[in-house]
Amino acid sequence: AGKPRIVVLGAGYAGILTTRRLQNLLSSDEAEIVLVNKHNYHYLTTWLHEVAAGTGDDDRITIQIKDVIDTDRVHLIKDTVLEVQKEEHRVILSHGEALIYDYLVVALGFEPATFGIPGIMKHALTIRSMNSARKIRHKIEALFADFADSNDEQEKLTFIVGGAGFTGIEFAAELAERIPVLCEQYAVDPRRVQVLNVEAAPGILAGFDPDLADYSKQSLERLGVEFRLSTRIKSVDPQGVTLLTEAGEERIESATVIWTGGVQGNSVVCGSAFEAQRGRIPAGEDLRIPGYDNVFVLGDCSAFLDKGTGRPYPPTAQLAILQSDVCAQNIVTLLRGGQELKTFVPFMKGAVASLGAHDAVGKVFGIKVRGTMAMIMKAIIDIRYMLMLGSPKLIFGKGKLSTYVMP
Ligand code: FAD
Ligand code: NAD
């Protein structure tokens, strides 16, 4: 028999770091490593809101996989995973031949959760990948171009951001900052453009420190975002959106909805190949899928239980990054015949969110940060990640810092 084959599905935070760590830990005699990803680039999902609003540059958040992975050591397959056939230990790809694995790492990330709300997938836009973010940017520009031709003075250009979690807040801030620029470019009266953030809960950023949520709300209001709290998106259709408020239903015609109402695991593997709970595959303490000794699941398509709260950890890049380390070590242990796998014990550092180009907010190691301090923290988070990807060169070319040093 040949060398054992490790197949990693997805080159997001979880997949690319697991691959890098395996590449460094294993000699080429020990195993063949295969990385499958839809594109030949890795993107920084944590900055997609800027691409979507058109305030950030695509190039600053994409990294060619070959620049951070040794493609002589790792076999990179640019293809789309269609199915995992777990009993046969193989992966079905869109173009290539079926891929047999000895060890599998499932790291295919997230997709929007729609909670069955009619019309979301068809008529709303979602931030889920580089291409979906670009699509939002193009749509916004096209809407401005059309609106500039409209002669109806009563008509408004309305953007509805559906959901005030971190994604909705970060995106709404960027959009609000882009609007004056677009109004200037397309000669549109700014008073005729509105950004509404619609949130089902009574407050924004549920679960985040209330002081910091208030700070974020005020920061966005200064940028011109209007909040509609305790208001739920009921349905989206080609003519507009129906909201459900405490007073009853409300209709907003010709509004464009950008849905940021939540995420779930990639449906390629969740539910079809492996048993999912609320759209995610439960991961065991060693990050394997219980019942499948050679299959690991990481990042946004997994659910890892927080024993403190009794609920899974929220899906974050931070968690995906931490998991990649333990996953790689556990695969090495299994390959070398060991039995004692490491238990994943996450040490979460906090969260930092951008509020447009000039403000940010966060809580790091229990300390609240706002404004410049929070912006610095966000740049440091990027720098640490670039270093993990093993390329100090990237620091000035990619991520947030690059926008400060190379405007
Ligand atoms: P992903 O990053 O989603 O990567 C999945 C990879 O799989 C992608 O490369 C994709 O192309 C590939 N793929 C998908 N389907 C297929 C297929 N069928 N075949 C082949 N390849 C496929 N978290 C934080 O910790 N901090 C933040 O500041 C933060 N900011 C965020 C901002 C935004 C706008 C968003 C949307 C999310 C943010 N998050 C943040 C959450 C974070 O981005 C995710 O938790 C993280 O991306 C999960 O990493 P992952 O590796 O599991 O998946
Ligand atoms: P989320 O689940 O955190 O927030 C979704 C929001 O949409 C909730 O507030 C929910 O009440 C609201 N909502 C749901 N249905 C609705 C409806 N019908 N009408 C109106 N509002 C509705 O989702 P997210 O913001 O996409 O975040 C996903 C994950 O990514 C989270 O774990 C988050 O922490 C992480 N993330 C982190 C950062 C950061 O740290 N800077 C940024 C973005 C995302």
pLDDT digits (tens, 9 = 90+) for 58-103: 998 999 999 999 999 999 999 999 999 999 999 999 998 899 999 9
Direct distance between the N- and C-terminal alpha carbons of the chain, in angstroms, rounded to an integer: 54
Q: Report the alpha-carbon distance of residue 174 to residue 181 in Å, rounded.
A: 11
281 CB less than 6 Å from ligand 1?
A: no
Quickly state the pLDDT bin for 271 (edges 50, 70, 90): confident
Q: Which amino acid is at 289?
A: I
Examine the pLDDT at 297 and tell me if it is beyond 50: yes
- pTM here is 0.96
Quick check: CB of 316 below 6 Å from ligand 2? yes
pLDDT at 360: 98
Cα 300 to averaged position of ligand 1 atoms, centre (Å):
7
Residue 390 is predicted with a pLDDT of: 83
Q: Is the CB of 316 under 6 A from ligand 1?
A: yes
pLDDT at 400: 65
In the predicted structure, residue 272 carries a pLDDT above the cut 70: yes
What is the pLDDT, as a whole number, of residue 406? 47
pLDDT band at residue 394 under the 50/70/90 scheme: confident
Q: Which ligand is nearest to the CA of 119?
A: 2
170 is catalytic: yes
- pLDDT of 404 reads 57
Ligand 1 atom closest to 354 (CA): 28
Q: How far is the CA of 12 from the centre of ligand 1 (A)?
A: 6
Gap from CA of 45 to ligand 1 centroid (Å):
5
Residue 226 pLDDT > 70:
yes
Which residue is catalytic, options 111, 141, 153, 170? Answer: 170
% of the chain exceeding 70 in pLDDT: 96
Look at residue 407 in the predicted model and tell me its pLDDT.
39
Q: Hey, CA dihedral for 178, 180, 184, 188, is it positive or negative?
A: positive
What mean pLDDT is predicted for residues 320-326?
A: 98
165 Cβ below 6 A of ligand 1: no
Give this complex's ipTM. Answer: 0.99
pLDDT at res. 101: 98
Which ligand is the nearest neighbour of the Cα of 50? 1
Instruction: For a ligand 2 pocket test, name from 48, 197, 199 the mutation site with the most ligand atoms within 8 angstroms of its C-beta.
Output: 199
Nearest partner of 96 among 110, 75, 111, judged by Cα: 75
Burial 207-224 (b: 16+ CB within 10 A, else e): ebbeebbebbbebbeebb
**What is the rounded average pLDDT for all residues in the chain?**
94
Which mutation among 166, 198, 204 tests ligand 2's pocket best, with the greatest number of atoms within 8 A of CB? Answer: 166
pLDDT at 138: 98
- Whether the CB of 166 sits within 6 Å of ligand 2: yes
- Ligand 2 neighbourhood includes 167 CB (under 6 angstroms): yes
Q: What is the pLDDT of residues 120-174, one digit of tens each?
A: 999 999 999 999 999 999 999 999 999 998 877 788 999 999 999 999 999 999 9
Alpha carbons 302 and 308: distance in angstroms, whole number: 18
Residues 6+ apart with CB under 8 A from 269: 9, 81, 84, 106, 108, 281, 297, 301
CA of 229 to the centre of ligand 1 (A): 27
Identity of the residue numbered 64: Q
Kindly give the number of the ligand 2 atom that is closest to the alpha carbon of 117.
18
Query: Which atom of ligand 1 lies closest to the CA of 10?
Result: 7
Per the document, the length of the chain is 407
Distance (Å) from CA 273 to ligand 1 centroid: 20
Contact partners, residue 129, CB within 8 Å, separation at least 6: 43, 48
Distance of CA 242 to the CA centre of its chain: 27
DSSP 95: S
